């Protein structure tokens, strides 16, 4: 796939984006969920080797392919690794899966009800390296914990500033201002976030497009104005802590939004499984998330 073909797949492809981008802080939890306890490694390198083995097993699986999984988001160490002698981005592209890279370096402490992204002083170098490996786009995450207009505006401003830097390298940014699904003011957060994103889109240069990764809204179809916006290539949703059945039900209520799930994709996979058991569990998860992404449920007004 070349860049034009990847853009077309992101714009209209049936399927979802797999989030395989757990970073240093979340890797032990991801490994524990996979059935690998902390006594299985003694160094950080060994820990990252184990999570790479998990991701390589997923990518290598016959049930993981571009007919249902149209994209995958990678952690930098995963992008730098290999699957069966091929770079991970090349292995994904060979299977028809568009590669993305997680670029944020974690979150700042909460201010005004939100957590902004930490500085990314080496971002230009990472973007150059990623693009050279065939990576199509990026993903960058902030978190919104409460309905504070000033905080939400700051999150969106920072996200679009980074997005413009990514666009300057000829790559597609997935802008991810996550609303905490445990927030007491979640519905108000959704509304404020929609307003601020629309303002930011209004001032994007004509002909420019971004992608958006958003929490599933309290009110179904809240984000329809973004799904239908000419400056938005695609809107995807994170599971945000929902278990897969509930996440897929909520996803199916939102027309035009596809999944970009991590925990909900991986939750049934275990290190101890045989390859047949692993492929069956992964295949079932892929089918559930594909269905939620492509078969929508009409919700009465």
Please state, in angstroms and as integers, the Cα–Cα distance from residue 81 to each residue in 26, 76, 87, 113, 140, following that order. 19, 9, 6, 37, 21
CB 216, CB 184: distance < 8 Å: no
82-83/86-87 β-pairing: antiparallel
In 76-171, which ranges are E strands?
A: 82-83, 86-87, 98-102, 114-115, 137-144
Q: Distance between alpha carbon 245 and the CA centroid of its chain, in Å?
A: 18
In whole angstroms, what is the distance from residue 44 CA to residue 38 CA?
Answer: 11
Instruction: Indicate the DSSP class of residue 84.
Output: T
Give the catalytic positions in this structure.
176, 213
CB 119, CB 155: distance < 8 Å: no
């Amino acid at each position: 796939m070349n860049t034009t073909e990847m853009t077309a797949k992101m714009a209209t492809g049936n399927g979802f984006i797999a989030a395989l981008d757990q970073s240093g802080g979340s890797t032990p939890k991801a490994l524990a969920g996979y059935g690998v306890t902390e006594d299985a490694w003694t160094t950080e390198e060994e820990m990252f080797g184990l999570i790479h083995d998990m991701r390589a097993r997923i990518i290598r699986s016959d049930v993981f392919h571009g007919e249902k999984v149209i994209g995958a988001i990678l952690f930098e160490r995963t992008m730098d690794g290999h699957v069966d002698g091929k770079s991970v981005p090349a292995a994904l592209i060979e299977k028809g899966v568009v590669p993305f890279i997680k670029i944020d370096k974690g979150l700042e402490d909460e201010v005004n009800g939100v957590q902004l992204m930490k500085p990314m002083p080496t971002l230009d170098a990472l973007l150059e390296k990623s693009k050279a490996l065939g990576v199509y786009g990026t993903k960058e995450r902030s978190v919104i914990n409460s309905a504070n207009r000033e905080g939400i505006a700051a999150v969106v401003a920072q996200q679009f500033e980074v997005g413009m830097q990514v666009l300057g390298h000829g790559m597609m940014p997935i802008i991810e201002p996550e609303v905490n699904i445990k927030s007491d003011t979640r519905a108000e957060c959704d509304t404020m976030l929609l307003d601020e994103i629309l303002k930011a889109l209004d001032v994007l240069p004509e002909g420019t497009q971004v992608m958006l990764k958003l929490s599933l809204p309290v009110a179904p179809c809240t984000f329809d104005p973004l799904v239908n916006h000419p400056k938005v290539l695609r809107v995807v949703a994170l599971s945000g802590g929902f278990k897969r059945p509930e996440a897929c039900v909520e996803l199916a209520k939102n027309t035009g939004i596809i999944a970009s799930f991590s925990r909900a994709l991986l939750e049934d996979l275990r290190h101890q499984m045989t390859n047949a058991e692993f492929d069956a569990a992964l295949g079932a998860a892929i089918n559930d998330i594909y269905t939620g992404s492509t078969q929508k449920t009409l919700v009465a007004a």
